[in-house]
Structure 1
Amino acid sequence: MAMFSISLHSKHFPSPMLTTPSSTKCLPSATAAITSRRAMVFGSGFVIASWFNLANLNSPPLALAELLQDELQQEEDNLVQLFQETSPSVVFIKDLELTKVPKTSSDEVMLNEDEDAKVEGTGSGFIWDKFGHIVTNYHVVAKLATDTSGLQRCKVFLVDTKGNSFYREGKIIGFDPAYDLAVLKVDVDGYEIKPVALGQSNNLNVGQSCFAIGNPYGYENTLTTGVVSGLGREIPSPNGGAIRGAIQTDAAINAGNSGGPLIDSRGHVIGVNTSTFTRKGTGVSSGVNFAIPIDTVIRNVPYLIVYGTPYSNRF
């Protein structure tokens, strides 16, 4: 919160010197006397006004309260704008299991949840580019990635730049369990979508503000706020290894937030929300939450898009 201070300096104000555009001359004494009197009256009024303002600031807080209210309103407006600009780039992911292998692969058949499929889980993701690539956690789509039955599907809900909601089947094109990352591809023909703005994670500082957007427990477009609580953490990966350099935050991350973006105060993605510690037996978040740093994501996702496998598996 900004601090405001007003300093009043007691100074001697010299009598004003009057000049003409072409030269400097002494005015007649009568004129000078009138001018001097006006200066004295002005000076007295200035002092009285100054003390009046000081008294107002020292007397309780109407003016100060209004200042603080304006500042809080500005902070709130900034946060609302941040969410409105960023949330169209966040998607809602549903994992589905079909009741039977369909004869056709059309969306109408396979995405009818009530009759043809049951929801097995939900998660989040974000739009990587305008071609329909979606980044999420591997553990969000692990069943689809390892499916051999042909019954697993993925339903992705998006919003285009005009605010129109639509959904498409998500096809998995690459995944890397070592970093808990996966990339889906959806058909966005006829829609213009908004990719996220990518930030950096190598210049983060503990204490700076951060925000998580996702779909906890299936509640779409949920915003939570917090700070960067720690850096350089090590968290387990789905393949039993370790993900190093993770970001710790107290911004609430719960089931369904996985795969969604962690953003900074400019709306730039600084991490992928992936895990949380929970109190044993409660399922309640402890406030110790983790995100995969965006620098790691930027290094790995292009290989998943182009080759379908991580860089480490190609050489």
Structure 2
Amino acid sequence: MLIDQLGAASAAPANEHSDDALHDAYSAAVMGAVERAGPAVVHIGVKKNGQLAGVGSGLVVASDGLILTNSHVVHGANAIEASMADGQRSAARLVGEDPHSDIAVLRTDAPLAAPSLSFFDTKAIRVGQLAIALGNPLGFEQTVTAGVVSAVGRSMRAYTGRLIDDVIQTDAALNPGNSGGPLVNAKGQVIGINTAVIRGAQGICFSVAANTALLVLTEVLQHGRMRRATLGIEGATTIIPRHVQRFAGLEQAAGVRVMKVTEGGPAEGAEIMSGDLIVALDGEAVLGIDDLLRLLNHERVSRDVKVSLLRKGERRDRFVTPVERR
């Protein structure tokens, strides 16, 4: 009995030390990520009509003052100011934005001394990995929250009503003013741009994937905007009756009904007509307007695409050259 008691007593401190080591490793990972990424986080103040209209956060991606943030933070601003935690301040201007993915690109009038951060390929993100949200909502008081990646590949509506694809869900809390700040992994690599919180829900926050943010950044720097393609139609998501599915050899239950064809547009030139039901684009199923908009990305501008459609129940293919959506 005495031996058992001595054994139990000696085992307790070992477990305590083990827990301490685990906690220390977690703390070290978070602190290390913050040390690497924190100096690149900026506070963004927005004025409209001479009045302070909102605040947010951002991420310096180049020392010449190139910044990524949320479109909804700076949209419609008359004046923008960026402030670093070390006291640097500079006026900033909007280089370009993509409201449909809620990403905006700014450039400051003066260079900002900030470290160069790497972006993590978000295709390799795994559920359960550490996620750290950084922000600078009050200018000189940086905030840090930590959690895990709860889900990947989510979709959410931008404030324009369009779906943002490949969104990261995390339980790292987003504080007021944290919109536009980075979500980083344990190595301090950027995995997303924080964008939204589900009000009334506990631990459900969203970030636009780093890959999407980099795509917008590249398009804005090259073209001044995020390019997207259009067929020159107006359409509506439409259910396909079961007997039509069987007749056409389709497994999908919905498509996009062409409601109107723009005069002189790509669809008219390809003899697509009102009443046609679009079911696929380049072999990828189109189940509704969201699918069609997602597939008509910058890569399909001025490039022939195959549009598969149903006309009077019969399947037909049309080759169309989309133009840039304005």
TM-score bracket for the superposition, by shorter chain length: 0.5 to 0.7
Spell out, residue by residue over 1:1-51, the C-alpha distance to the aligned partner (whole angstroms, 9 max, x if none): xxxxxxxxxxxxxxxxxxxxxxxxxxxxxxxxxxxxxxxxxxxxxxxxxxx
Gap change, CA 1:244 and 1:133, over 3 Å in 2:
same
Residues 217 and 255 in structure 1, CA contact (< 8 A), matched pair in contact too: no
Partner of 1:88: 39
Q: Does 1:249 align with 2:200?
A: no
SS for the counterpart of 2:202 is strand
CA RMSD of aligned residues (A): 2.4
Q: Tell me, which stretches of 5 or more residues in structure 1 are unaligned? A: 1-51, 100-117, 145-151, 280-284
What is the SS of the residue equivalent to 1:287? coil
Indicate yes or no: 2:221 matched with 1:305: yes
Q: What is the TM-score normalised by the length of structure 2? A: 0.64
1:234–1:63 CA distance, 2 compared to 1 (3 A): closer
In structure 2, the residue matched to 1:287 is 203
Structure 1 residue 60: Cα displacement:
3.8
Of 27, 30, 37, the match for 1:79 = 30
Alignment of 1:154 with 2:77, yes or no, is: no
Q: Does residue 1:166 correspond to 2:91, yes or no?
A: no
Q: 1:219 to 1:256 in 2, by over 3 A?
A: farther
User: Paired residue for 1:135?
Assistant: 68
TM-score (norm 1): 0.66
Q: Once the 2 structures are TM-superposed, how far is the Cα of residue 225 of structure 1 from its aligned partner?
A: 0.9
More helix by share: 1
- Return the alpha-carbon distance in structure 1 between the equivalents of residues 222 and 64 of structure 2: 13
Q: How does 1:44-123 map to 2 (within 5 A)?
A: 59-97=10-48, 99=50, 118-123=51-56
Residues 83, 139 of structure 2: 8 Å contact kept: no
SS of structure 1 residue aligned to 2:76:
helix
1:34 counterpart residue number: none
Query: Which structure shows the higher strand fraction?
Result: 2
Q: Which residue of 1 aligns with 2:199?
A: 278
Decide whether the 8 Å contact of 1:92 with 1:214 is kept in 2: yes
Alpha-carbon distance in structure 2 between the residues aligned to 1:92 and 1:218: 5
Query: CA contact under 8 A between 2:90 and 2:108: conserved in structure 1?
Result: yes
Distance in 1 separating the partners of 2:195 and 2:163? 13
Match of 1:181 among 103, 106, 110: 103
Q: 1: CA distance between counterparts of 2:180 and 2:94?
A: 14
Corresponding residue pairs, total: 228
Distance 1:208 1:73 in 2: 17
The structural deviation recorded for 1:224 is 0.6
Identical-pair percentage: 30
Unaligned segments of structure 2, at least 5 residues: 230-300, 302-323
Deviation at 1:262, TM superposition (A): 0.8
